[in-house]
Structure 1
Amino acid sequence: MVRHLVALALLAMAMAPASAQAQAWQLERSEVHKIEAEDGHAYSVSIAWPQGDAPEQGWPVLWVLDGADNFAIAALTARRLARAGERSGIHHGVVVGIDSGPLTRRIFDYTPRLEGYEIPAGLPGHGHMTGGSQAFLALVRQSIVPVVARNVPIDNARQTLLGHSFGAVLALEAMEGEGPWSRFAVVSPSLWFGDEVPVTRIRPSGKVGEVLIALGDGETSRAGTEACDAAERLRDRLAEHGIASQVSLLSGHDHGTTMLAAMGQAIALAFGEEGRK
């Protein structure tokens, strides 16, 4: 009897479904690099590229902040829209996700330095150090961009930066510098930071072209500032510098859901037909 039961158990194991030997999900035509800053902090840089040969000028690139959350979504959405290019008007491109890691580092990397400023109690990021954006942007220019360029052919004239919340604050600051980007998608920007300093002190370079400002109609006020009003002030400020921007109000969305809701628009900005003209 015992032998009979053992034989039945072994037979059941042999007939177990293949899913018992499942493997981790992976994204085709992608790779991940670890890049260290001078202080030893490691960044994860994920790259996804299209199938086939690149255009003569190279692929356009969508750079996505908070890569751990957003890279795979952006890459797969971009590929799906490009497959329906005749209907969507979206062409193929490279998606790069940069992830800073822990929340403490993210807040530091994505915010500008303001002498004596601390995020007030009750607001997102209170108690965390701020002011590391210039060092982070320098790391991207000097270390991360060369890694991407060595691995895939990219179009230096068609580079888009996408950021959400504090990441959108970083994108606004990046408009002023020497980064590779000429298009920017700022989603639910934390414009309350530093009493709206992202709006009042922005000085875009002449390289800045199209700008998308997206936010949800359900976003709550932060530090006494209504999100929609602040976005309109940002649009007006950009207009003063000769930059036309589009404000997209995402119906039914709040601060936590706007990145997903705005993803298609950001991809259209980076890889759409209009960007090819």
Structure 2
Amino acid sequence: MRRLRALLAIVALMGAGPLAAAPWQLERSDVETVAAVDGHAYRVMVAWPEGEPPTAGWPVLWLLDGEDNFAIAAVTARRLERAGARSGIQPGVIVAIESGGLARRVLDYTPSAPGYAIPKGMPAHGLAVGGGDAFLDFVDRSLRPRIAGRLRIDPRRQTLMGHSFGALLALDAMYEGRAFSHIVAVSPSLWYGDGVLRKAEAKAADGAGAALLLASAPSERTVAGLSGTDGKALVDRWRAGGRVGRYLSLPGQTHGSTMMAAMTAGIAAAFGKEAQ
């Protein structure tokens, strides 16, 4: 009888399969859905540090493509924070916005370029573009007050980090003078818009603007003929206007892997003591 009961218990556990295990969770984090003016719903993931915030509030790292980047950024930031003086990383809040499907991502992450359509052979050909300003307005007018109402954050230390089209949007936010102290642009899609980004760059006032970190792999290349190193020239122009800028080369990486390769540098830009 004892053997039978043991056997039945084993069978019951086997039958339960993965449902018997608890899901992995990240402490001090949550997810909520926030609707934009046009009714589109975004999932917004937030992670915050332990303890009381500093007098000025916690710095914030705003992450695009949040569904891909939230967990790795939060865990990495906390690990670096625990290292203390060895890492130079302070506690901070991470706010990651889910991009949703490809069509919505392309619309949200591309600057307005009247009359422009993504040409054949390029990523996202045929999809609607030009909704970047509306998306940044959503961040500024809806998400910033929402986060500030929940957590004590430092309005002077706000970093926006994105990859590919997300990096394109981050650069556009920088040129527009949106309220970010730091911009981290990883492998930006500089080919987009027939020079729309250069026009925005030309309008940016000298000496004003966020500190820029642009990262890319030297081997990155698009069918438009732009290489990963074209970002270095952009950083040089930004610095020539009396601003702070740094180019981070990521040798050995591909377009798909550069965001993870640049994550620690992005966290340091947002939460590092030297970035204050």
Q: Identify whether the pair has TM-score above 0.5, normalized to the shorter chain.
A: yes
Which residue matches 1:90? 89
Cα deviation code 1:92-141 (max 9, x no counterpart): 11111011211100010010111111111111111111000011111111
Which residues of structure 2 form unaligned runs of 5+? none
* C-alpha distance in structure 1 between counterparts of 2:237 and 2:195, whole Å: 12
Check whether the contact 1:173–1:198 (CA below 8 A) recurs between aligned residues.
yes
Gaps of 5+ in 1: none
Instruction: Tell me the CA shift for residue 225 of structure 1.
Output: 1.9
Q: 1-side partners of 2:195 and 2:162: how far apart?
A: 17
| Residues 1:219 and 1:131: Cα distance change in structure 2 (over 3 Å) | same
- Note if 1:237 corresponds to 2:244: no
Query: 2: CA distance between counterparts of 1:11 and 1:209?
Result: 61
Question: Which amino acid is the alignment partner of residue 234 of structure 2?
Answer: L
Query: Quick one: distance in 2 between partners of 1:144 and 1:103?
Result: 22
Q: Which residue of 1 aligns with 2:259?
A: 259
Structure 1 residues 49 and 64: alpha-carbon distance in aligned structure 2, compared to 1, 3 A threshold: same
Deviations 1:182-241 (A, max 9, x none): 11000000001113422343244665232101001221234122231x213312331343
Equivalent residues in 2 for 1:14-33, closer than 5 Å: 21-33=20-32
Who is 2:181 aligned against? 182
Amino acid at match of 2:8: L
Match of 1:11 in 2: 9
Answer yes or no: is the 8 Å Cα contact 1:50–1:94 preserved in 2. yes
- Alignment CA distance shift 1:8-1:209 (3 Å): closer
When normalised by structure 2's length, the TM-score is 0.92
Given the alignment of the two structures, is residue 147 of structure 1 paired with residue 146 of structure 2, yes or no?
Answer: yes
3-state SS in 2 of match to 1:176: helix
The size of the alignment, in residue pairs, is 273
Contact 1:68 1:99 in 2 (8 A): yes
Partner of 1:271: 271
Secondary structure of the corresponding residue to residue 96 of structure 2: strand
Conserved 8 A contact 2:121-2:223: no
Residue 44 of structure 1 aligns with an amino acid whose one-letter code is: R
Distance (whole Å) between structure 2 residues aligned to residue 208 and residue 6 of structure 1: 73
Whole-Å separation in 1 of the counterparts to 2:6 and 2:165: 59
Show the 5 A alignment for 1:99-110.
Answer: 99-110=98-109
- How far has the Cα of 1:14 moved from its partner? 5.8
Structure 1 runs (4+) greater than 4 angstroms displaced: 3-9, 14-20
Q: Secondary structure at the match of 1:260?
A: helix
What residue is the counterpart of 2:110 in the other structure?
Answer: 111
1:173 aligns to what?
172
Structure 1 distance, partners of 2:260, 2:5, is 52
AA partner of residue 118 (structure 1): A
Question: Structure 1 counterpart of 2:273, which letter?
Answer: E
Q: Secondary structure at 1:146's aligned position in 2?
A: helix
Shifted more, 212-221 versus 65-74: the winner is 212-221
Counterpart of 1:12, as a letter, is I
Q: Aligned residues: percent identity?
A: 48
Structure 1 distance, partners of 2:215, 2:95, is 20
